Amino acid sequence: MQTETLKVTGMTCEGCTKSVAHSLKALNGVHEVVVSLSAGEAAVRYDEHLTSHDQLKSVLKDVGYGVDSTNTAQKPQVKGGCCG
């Protein structure tokens, strides 16, 4: 099992957090997802033999959110998600 915290861009409301959590939980191998709107993060516990970091990022992009791979610079929010 592996736990990874993703910086998710584009979340603007609780509906967005539910969408992010639902999308990540749908991936094979994902066991737990905790999404924080205020922190702009999703903590994901998953089996690295069944899914990967790239698959986590891909599913978020597919539903209209971005993943910020740098923790130092704030990137503009991606339009999309449940509100845009």
Mapped to the 3 state alphabet, what secondary structure does the chain carry?
CEEEEEEEECCCCHHHHHHHHHHHHCCCCEEEEEEECCCCEEEEEECCCCCCHHHHHHHHHHCCCEEECCCCCCCCCCCCCCCC
At residue 76, does pLDDT exceed 70? no
In a domain? residue 74: no
In a domain? residue 58: yes
In a domain? residue 20: yes
In a domain? residue 79: no
pLDDT mean over 7-13:
95
Q: Which domain holds residue 38?
A: 2-68
Higher pLDDT, 9 or 83: 9
pTM: 0.81
